[in-house]
Structures are given as C-alpha cells and as structure tokens.
Amino acid sequence: MNACRPRRRWTAGSNAREAGVVGLDTETDALSATHAGLCGVSLALGPNDACYIPLTHEHEPAANAGGLDFGGEADTREPLTQLDKPTTLAKLKTLLEDPSVLKVLQNAKYDVAVFARRGIRVAPYDDTLLLSYVLEGGLHGHGMDELARLHLGHEPIAFKSVAGTGKSQKSFKHVQLAPATQYAAEDADVTLRLWRILKPRLAREGLSTVYETLERPMPTVLADMELAGVRVDPDRLKRLSSEFGLRMAELEQQAHEIAGRPFNVGSPRQIGEILFGELNLPGGKKTASGQWGTDASVLEELALTHDLPRAILDWRQLSKLKGTYTDALTAAADPATDRVHTSTTSWRPPRPAGWPVPIPTCRTSRSAPRPAARSARPSSPRPAMC
C-alpha cells in the first residue's frame, strides 16, 4: 500500500470537493488532545491517493543539547521544508467545515478536539471506529491497525518503526519527513478504505438509526466536554490537602499510641500483624497470600469494640480524599485556566433495548492481538473505545 501522492494535487482542495468525501487524520506530539501540538494533517481521496501536510516538524535536538552552550559549532542541518501553519489551517478550514464534503476519521473525537482548539469545527464526518463498534460490538477491538488486518488484510506501518520504542522513542515532530509522510498518509488512506467497507453495511444490517442517532453525534459532544473541562479552585484544594495531612498525622500518632509501638498505618500486612497477631482481636482471617484480611468491612466490625481499627479507618478515608482528589485534582488542573481536562475515551453508553447482539462468525478467527497506539495518542487514538 503506497498511499503518497504529490502535494500539488492537494493545494486547493478541489479534488476533495469533487469527490465529496475525504479521509482525514492528524499527527500530534502528545497523548492528550486538549494539549497536543499539531505536527501535520493527512488527507486521502482513494486507494493510494493520499498526502501528508507537515506543519511543525523539527530536527531532533543535538546530542549535547542538554549541556552548557560554550559557543560551539552551530546546527548546520538544512531547515525542514514545510507549509506555513496559519496559512495552511486557514485553507483547510474551508474544506473541513464544508457541508458538501464528508470527512472520514478513525476515532473522530481526538481529531475533532485537535482542530477545535485551532478554530476549526470539522463537519460533517463519519467515524470508522464507531461504525465498526456499531456493526460488530465486542467481537474484536476497533483500533485502526486491527481493522486494517481484519477487513483489508493489511499490516499498517507500526508507530515504533518511525518513532522508535522505549527510551529511544522520539516525538512525532522529530520524525523525518519521508517516513512521517508514509506513516501519516497511510492512516488517512486506510481509514477511507475501511469506511467504504463498513458504511454500506449499516443499512443492510438495520443499524443506520443506531449509528446516526446515538454514535455519530457523540465525538463532537465529548470533544467539547473535554475541551471545556471542569474548573477547580487550586488554592482551596491545597488548603484541604494540608488539613487532611495534618489530621492524618494526628491519627497516625493516635494509632501508634493505641498499638503501643510505631508501625506503617498504610501497610495492610503490618496492620494485620498488630490487630490479630499482637492484640489478638477476634474475627481474623488470612487471605490466599497468607496475610491477615484488613479491608474496610473487617475494620468496621472491629471498630465496634476497639479504638485502633477506627483510627486506621479514619486515616484511610483521609488518605483516599487527599491522594485521589485534592492532590490529584490540583496536579491535573491546567495552570493557565484552573480547569481539569479529562478523557472520555472509556465512556460507552449502555446497549439500547432491541439493539441486535452480534453473533460470532468465522471472521473472529482473523482477529489479531490488540495493537499498541499508532501515534502520540491515548488508547482511543488507535485502540477501541469499548
């Protein structure tokens, strides 16, 4: 599959308007659509007829870039040839907002959010991830790689082959333009090919209403929710964290005095040894791992007759509030807006009454292991939402 075609064919977008449908994908430098930088955009009109528009690629930092600059040799690498980002996005805006051109995406929520942050409201669109989900539900994953293997018999270019893995993995913005073009253009090409296979099945299988009324509108709604975020009060959260921390220290000291010696209040093993091994409180049961069970139900029962379990329970409650909420929300808030931008990737509405449950067929024998993310995105950016 050789998706790339000369860039000159795409300068005005006239071909896309004539076709009435265009495959679309973005490449970014971060997992979160609410903060990702846009590296480039890929478009496809048909099989082996796709392009990649690089916008913000950079050379990799020099090996000694992290050290002190003593006026050594300047970077002599040739500047990258790319299109001007503001001009390109302005031209793309007319195409991506054109109601006469259907945009086909894989996991549209991510790309819709990326473009929305840049003043572009992508519409109308189809989402091959959602098409696949409506048609085949839990039979297999709905990431692009898996769908390409299942429906096209094609193994897409692996993200690791262009960006590396582990400690040597680089941001997509540092991928050289030639491999970046092959990788990104293929994304749009494969997505459009999948659409041509999946979309006609909706009417044949009586699932058009489910897709059009429940699934298709959701990417824009969810993207808007993620971009809006939830405003928090970091100062108040910090004060609460401090108060919780002080009270936890008091409870820890109280627990030590009751037990008659210091111990780790956060250690179930040490708690079990003290409650049942040293204090010989009743009702102790060991788990399969050989440790005493000290979950909330056990401690609540013991707290009726002893002060130590109550002190431990109160400490655990404050620890949960501090670690899961006050500390975590403060860390997650965008410092510029004081808003927490969450991901709705794993959200899935309940199956509507009367929605046919897919029956496994021989096609399931073609399913492959769930692929790793193909680009700098969260699981949904390639893996399935369900």
Q: Are residues 163 and 90 both part of a single domain?
A: yes
Quick check: 117 and 227 in contact, CB under 8 A?
yes
Q: Are residues 215 and 264 both part of a single domain?
A: no
Which residue shows structure tokens 């090919």?
193
Residue 318: pLDDT band (50, 70, 90) is very high
The one-character DSSP state at 362 is: G
> What SS3 state is found at 8?
helix
Quick check: 288 and 231 in contact, CB under 8 A?
no
Axis-axis angle for helices 128-136, 177-204 (nearest 10): 40
Q: Are residues 170 and 25 both part of a single domain?
A: yes
Q: Are residues 182 and 323 both part of a single domain?
A: no
DSSP H helical ranges for the chain = 14-19, 85-96, 108-116, 128-136, 144-147, 159-163, 177-204, 208-210, 218-228, 234-259, 268-272, 296-302, 307-320, 327-332
pLDDT surpassing 90 at residue 225: yes
Please give the Cα distance from 151 to 140 (Å, whole number). Answer: 12
Contacts 24+ apart (CB under 8 A), 314-317: 314/251, 315/248, 315/251, 315/252, 315/255, 315/265
Q: Are residues 157 and 291 both part of a single domain?
A: no
Residue 66: pLDDT band (50, 70, 90) is low
Whole-number pLDDT of residue 242: 97
Q: Are residues 222 and 244 both part of a single domain?
A: no
Tell me the two tokens of residue 373.
């993310």
Q: Does 67 reside within a domain? A: no
Amino acid at 65: A
Q: Which of these ranges, 68-77, 83-92, 308-317, 337-346, has the smallest mean pLDDT? A: 68-77
Q: Are residues 241 and 215 both part of a single domain?
A: no
Whole-number pLDDT of residue 110: 95
Quick check: 201 and 128 in contact, CB under 8 A?
no
Counting residues of the chain whose pLDDT is more than 70, the rounded percentage is 82
Length of the chain as a residue count:
386
Please give the average per-residue pLDDT across 64-76, as a whole number. 60
Q: Does 76 reside within a domain? A: no
Q: Are residues 289 and 351 both part of a single domain?
A: no
Tell me the two tokens of residue 269.
């093993």
Q: Are residues 117 and 238 both part of a single domain?
A: no
Whole-number pLDDT of residue 32: 87
Which residue would you say has higher pLDDT here, 105 or 342?
Answer: 105
Q: Does 52 reside within a domain? A: yes
CATH number at residue 318: 1.20.1060.10
Q: Does 75 reside within a domain? A: no
Which residue would you say has higher pLDDT here, 272 or 370?
Answer: 272
Please give the Cα distance from 347 to 268 (Å, whole number). Answer: 33
Counting residues of the chain whose pLDDT is more than 90, the rounded percentage is 72
Q: Does 375 reside within a domain? A: no
Contacts with 69 (C-beta within 8 Å, 6 or more apart), sequence order: none
Whole-number pLDDT of residue 360: 39
Whole-number pLDDT of residue 372: 38
Q: Does 373 reside within a domain? A: no
Please give the Cα distance from 356 to 343 (Å, whole number). Answer: 28
Q: Are residues 220 and 270 both part of a single domain?
A: no
Which residue shows structure tokens 């000369």?
6
Please give the Cα distance from 26 to 181 (Å, whole number). Answer: 12
Quick check: 43 and 24 in contact, CB under 8 A?
yes
Please give the Cα distance from 136 to 85 (Å, whole number). Answer: 39
Q: Are residues 92 and 161 both part of a single domain?
A: yes
The one-character DSSP state at 340 is: E
Q: Does 143 reside within a domain? A: yes
Please give the Cα distance from 132 to 138 (Å, whole number). Answer: 10
Instruction: Read off the pLDDT of residues 280-308 as tens digits, 9 standing for 90 and up.
Output: 999 889 988 889 999 999 999 999 999 99
Whole-number pLDDT of residue 53: 95
Please give the average per-residue pLDDT across 257-262, as a whole number. 96
Amino acid at 371: P
CATH number at residue 156: 3.30.420.10
Instruction: Read off the pLDDT of residues 153-188 as tens digits, 9 standing for 90 and up.
Output: 999 999 999 999 998 899 999 999 999 999 999 999
Q: Does 177 reside within a domain? A: yes
Mean pLDDT of the chain: 85
Which residue would you say has higher pLDDT here, 62 or 48?
Answer: 48
DSSP string, 45-65: EETTEEEEEE-S--PPPPTTT
Q: Which domain holds residue 192?
A: 7-60+81-229+342-366
Instruction: Read off the pLDDT of residues 100-125 as tens digits, 9 standing for 90 and up.
Output: 999 999 999 999 999 999 999 999 99
pLDDT surpassing 60 at residue 358: no
User: Could you give the number of structural domains in the chain?
Assistant: 2
- Give the residue from 324, 339, 354 where a domain finishes: 339
Q: Are residues 275 and 329 both part of a single domain?
A: yes
Residue 1: pLDDT band (50, 70, 90) is low
Instruction: Read off the pLDDT of residues 120-145 as tens digits, 9 standing for 90 and up.
Output: 999 999 999 999 999 999 999 999 99
